[in-house]
Amino acid sequence: MYTKMRRSRQELDEQDTHAIMEHGTAGVLALSGCDATGGFAYGIPLSYVYLDDAAWGRTLGADGLSPWLPSADEPVVGRIFFHGARSGTKLDAIAADGRASFTVIDQDLIVPEEYTTYFRSAMAFGYARMMEHDTERLRALEALAEKYSPKLPEGRAAEIADQFAKTAMIELAVVRLSGKEAIELTRARG
């Protein structure tokens, strides 16, 4: 179903790929075109939080909810959550076609004398949807707020209470992760 990475020596292992997704602070969500984009593909930079599927299941399980499963054929390996307005191009594109990818750049060091960059990045492929159930929306928003404001629990709670009704939460159920680094970084690790 998926094309094998052409330069497989540069492919990151599962642990390194998950680490990039967990520790990154921004990435680009890529969506298919729709009427709202004039048919063009739509890429938008976003803040996000990534949770492996087991962590998300434990978060929801406390309230008796089961995680969303977009496809019986492809197991979910992780979940990425974004927030935004309750209407707009991003949500129109997701409604038209929920297949999406999300890219995080971990490192991009330009090395002019070598005519290259020493890069590390990760891509997630999966299915996006606007979250509807208030309990799962709240859990996802709390995880996102905790990532960016870990030492401000009271402030997070107040902000969430103030903005919750106006905030959409989008979930990307990840069915495939892929990571890659520059050959120079691969060689340096031996």
Residue 2 pLDDT: 60
User: Between the CA of residue 92 and those of 36, 37, 84, 141, what are the distances in Å?
Assistant: 7, 9, 13, 21
Domain-wise residue ranges, the chain = 8-181
Dihedral sign of CA atoms 29, 84, 72, 67 in order = positive
* CATH number of the domain located at residue range(s) 8-181 in this protein: 2.30.110.10
Q: How far apart are CA 72 and CA 87, in angstroms?
A: 29
User: Between the CA of residue 61 and those of 58, 66, 117, 128, 170, what are the distances in Å?
Assistant: 5, 6, 43, 21, 19
Per-residue pLDDT tens digits for 24-56: 999 999 999 889 889 999 999 999 999 988 888
Per-residue pLDDT tens digits for 15-31: 999 999 999 999 999 99
Per-residue pLDDT tens digits for 107-131: 999 999 999 999 999 999 999 999 9
Q: How far apart are CA 43 and CA 29, in angstroms?
A: 5
